[in-house]
Every structure is written in structure tokens, then in C-alpha cells.
Structure 1
């Protein structure tokens, strides 16, 4: 006897279940990931992975939105990884002990120090054939994939510090944030102009939406410009945010992070559930906002509630049947039966199973994480765990939602 998966079209019950599923795990609140605890010095989205540099811990990466992390710093003799950039076939990481380079598909890091007069690397950027390193002694430039470095001829800074906290390339211009000002080059770093942007603080972070450049300061200001010649206070900020060390733009929206439990979406604070201490770094990866906290590792925030596609398995084509599916047996189930869910998938996907009663209340949940291709089984246990009646089993595979009506009898 076959028990097909039914899509209860037009049913209020299914609509309720789908909305409940969206509310569980897709709600727009901050949630901790499984990263190591500590201060997250950088976050960098690269291809399928999100990388994090955690003070005292090293470099880690995840390909499943933070559900698990792997150590990725073999060869790096520093526990203060501060910044990362992709350049050609390489990744580069700047640390408190110099610059390290690795082939992108290798992750065996080697130190690149020829020509560098400092070990403290604060920021990295790339433009054309050149790689730029912001340090505590100004800017260094490499035109040979990091093999050797030359110091850039910078004007005397406004303040005492020569720290280059952040760098950004826009419309062919290289912008470097430093104490109370920025350095600006339009000729690949051959000459530099010192620009007073009207802040008494350090320029700690930079971001652009392609039109406007935003500067986050170590005070409580965000400064913006369109023409790189006139800088003014941004309208995209709110009171209560200080030491703005993290900026990122996603879909024309500016996200800013700072001390004291602070993340702002344009002008709206979105810091529910966040640790009080605040943010050190921020990035967008796979349409999810990630925040590197000052003490408690990496947290994440879904930018949008993802819609789950409810599917009637019987209506899928032959190819889809081979890609994923689910069966529940026995169904209906007697009191002495153990009910088993069998499912299969042909690609690695995140899998979660949930069971709802007729009122749409979640009565069973199992988050199985990222599962490799194959066939699997889950035992829901005997019907003695449930009252008699109708239930709905929902199996989420990636962004697909497979559902089956279940009957529990006395």
C-alpha cells in the first residue's frame, strides 16, 4: 500500500502550518551561530564560505550559515587576524603578525613580508593589478601578488596616528580611512590627497552602495558623500550608536554596527536579542546579515523571511523524485506502532522535520543540520506520545517543504 504526500490545497490548516514554519527559524531576530566565542575582528564573504577572524582563536569558515565552522588558518602564526581580501587566484589575510597568502582552493597560508616595515596589518583592498595593505605605518602596495611591497608616498596625517583602519575602491578611486581624515588616490596609489572629512574621530569603517560612500567613525558619526569632494553627516544613522567600526550595504540598505548593542538598518535599530556589548564587524553572505560581536562570536540575522514552497510529491516529475522525497510509514498508525520517516536527497541540503497538530501547534521538531546526499530514516516514536487525531508532518529540505497528513488512532 502506498501513502502519497498530499498538498492540502486551499486548506486553512496548511496555510497555518506554513506560516508557523516561517516563524520558526526565519523570524527577523538575531541568533547566535556555532562560532567560537570571542571578539570577531573581521567577517568576509567569499564564494560559498563566510570567513571570520576571531581574536585569540584564529580564522574559521562556514558554508552552512554558521551552523558549523571549520578552522582555516594552517600556517598563520598569529591569533589576531584582522582583515581579508580575494585577489586573483589568492586569498590574503592581514594579521598582527604580517600578511599571509593562500591559493583559494588550498588554504595553506604563507607569510608575505618582503618590503613591509611593519607587522600590524589593519585593512586590505585590491584594484586592478595592485593589492593595498593598510597598516599602522601607512599604506603599502604590491603589484606582484603580494610577493613584495612598497610604501605609498602619503602626505603628513592630520593627527599623530598613521593607522589605516579601512580601505575601499569606488569609481577607480582608492579611499583609505585614517585619523580625522581620509587618503584619496585616483592613480592607483602613485599620488595621494589628504582630505579632511569633518570629524574629530578616526575613520574606522567604509562602505558604498555604488553611488554614495559612507564613513563610520570611532565617535558617533556616519559621514557620507557622492562626489568625494564634499562630505557631510549622513541621514542614515540614529542616536545611541557609537564607535561605528562596521558598515555594509545590501540592496541599497546601509547596516551599521557599533558598541553598546548597536546595529542600525538605515535609521532603524535592529538589535533585539543581541549581546549588550555590540559589534566589531559585519557582512552579508547568502542574503543573511552576519555580525561579529565584541565578546560572543558571530551572530546572524535573516534579511527577509524565506518563503517555503509546499509541494505535493505525487505531482513532481521523475527527475524531481530522484532529487528529494519523503515517505512516512505506517500511516495511519496504531498505538503499538513506531512511525518512521524516510527521506532522500541528491545534493547536500539543510534538513528539518516538524510535526503540527490540527490547531497548528508544533509538537515535535528535529533540526538535522546539513545532510550529505543519501537516504535517511527518522523514528518519531510510538503514537502513545500523541493524542488521537490528525497531524501534519513537514519536512524542510533546503527551501522545499514536503508535507503529509498523519493519522494517529487510539
Structure 2
């Protein structure tokens, strides 16, 4: 019997949903999550598909049973998580991108998180909301090289595994300070 394929989606107002390919109904997955969880990002463990992480407006949650039950992980209260990325060579190492452009790192498969750095753009236009890291990418051939997509502020690069960041907004068309980047990926040429 072949393994089933599960699809997860996050919703702004009603949390997280899952369905199996070929099925018509979505199942709401909220057991253990904060009420009205707003799932901003979802990541499946690269070696164990039963383990799923969800970034929400109330921090990061983990499920060990494909989303049936959730537990809030140890991250400073009040952090809105917008991106989750596993290290390409060590799935125990993970990174979070948050509202306020903060980067957090876990070296124990998401149990505990430590603050790494804040990506700042002193030239960016002040908006009604804090700049968010909407995407993180890690170069697999050199995991010290990381990239971030910022909502309002452009793109950033780290050469020391997320401890410090430099903006890489040269040669973008338009007003870079207002640039709204929602994703980033790194691959071989």
C-alpha cells in the first residue's frame, strides 16, 4: 500500500487545514492551538512527515501526528511567525522569520528557540505594521549563506548562518524601500 499524500494550508482567520489527495473535504486542525490561530507558514520535517510545524500569530506550533494535535513551542511570547526553514543538512537545526524582521534559531528540532538577529533597513518607509520576514532560504552547498524576503524592505543576505544580514537591493526596479517580497529560493545554476 502506498503512503498517502497530505496537503496542508493555513488560513488567515480559521487556522490550519489538511486533506488527503483525492479527498474532497478539508479538515480543520486546531487541537492544541490558540483560538482562531492564523497559520502564516507551514513546514513538514524533511525526514519525518508525521512532524509538522506551523507559524502563527501566537508563535510556532509543532504536531507529531500529522496535524491531529499541536503543542506551542518555546518561543518568546508575542512573536508572529511568518517563515520556517529547515537547515538543508541537519533537520535538527531550524530558523524562523518573524514580524519585526527577527531571526530565531533552534538546534534541537524546534524545542527551544534563540534570537539570532534583526534585519533592518534604515532607508525603508515606515509602514503601519512592522517589516516581516516572509521567506527564508539556505544554500545547501554552503549553509552559512542564507537569504531573506522582506515584506517592505526588499531582500537580505547572511554569510554567517543568520547572525548578521546585509541588504541586497541593488538593481531592483522601482522603489526598493516599498518592495514587498513574499518568497525566496536558492538553487544550483
TM over 0.5, shorter chain: yes
Change (3 A) 1:65 1:201: farther
Q: CA deviation at 1:65?
A: 4.3
When the two structures are aligned, how many residues end up with a matched partner?
165
Distance 1:210 1:134 in 2: 20
**Corresponding position of 2:20:** 63
Tell me the distance in 2 between the aligned counterparts of 1:156 and 1:54: 28
- Select which of 163, 166, 178 maps to 2:132: 163
- Which residue pairs with 1:177 in the alignment? 149
- What are the superposed Cα offsets for residues 251-299 of structure 1, whole Å, 9 maximum, x if unpaired? xxxxxxxxxxxxxxxxxxxxxxxxxxxxxxxxxxxxxxxxxxxxxxxxx
Supply the distance in 1 between the matched residues of 2:15 and 2:27 (Cα, whole angstroms).
11
Displacement over 4 Å in runs of 4+: none
Report the Cα offset of residue 93 of structure 1.
Answer: 0.2
State how far apart, in whole Å, the 1-side matches of 2:97 and 2:68 are.
23
> Separation in 2 of the partners of 1:190 and 1:95?
23
Residue 156 (structure 1) shift: 3.1
Distance 2:60 2:21 in 1: 27
Residue 126 in structure 1 maps to residue 86 in structure 2: yes
In structure 1, stretches of 5+ residues that fail to align are: 1-46, 213-410
Give matches, 1:90-129, under 5 Å: 90-105=51-66, 107-114=68-75, 116=76, 118-127=78-87, 128=90, 129=92
Larger radius of gyration: 1
- RMSD over aligned CA atoms reads 2.5
Instruction: Report Cα offsets for 1:283-332 as digits up to 9, x if no partner.
Output: xxxxxxxxxxxxxxxxxxxxxxxxxxxxxxxxxxxxxxxxxxxxxxxxxx
> Are the counterparts in 2 of residues 182 and 203 from structure 1 also a CA contact under 8 Å?
no
Distance 1:207 1:132 in 2: 14
Is 1:152 matched with 2:108? no
Distance 1:56 1:209, change over 3 A: same
With over 3 angstroms needed to count, the CA separation of the structure-2 counterparts of 1:193 and 1:79, relative to structure 1, is same
Gaps of 5+ in 2: none
TM-superposed CA distance for 1:135, in Å, is 0.8
Secondary structure of the 1:204 match is coil
Q: Indicate how the Cα distance of structure 1 residues 59 and 109 shifts in structure 2: closer, same or farther if over 3 A, else same.
A: same
Q: Give the TM-score, by structure 1 length.
A: 0.37
Q: Aligned runs of 1:177-326 on 2, under 5 Å? A: 177-178=149-150, 179-197=152-170, 198=172, 199-208=176-185, 210-211=187-188
Q: Is the 8 A contact 1:165 1:203 kept in 2?
A: no
Using a 3 Å threshold, how does the CA distance of structure 1 residues 105 and 123 change in structure 2: closer, same or farther?
Answer: closer
> How much has 1:92 moved relative to structure 2?
0.8
Give the structure with the larger strand fraction: 1
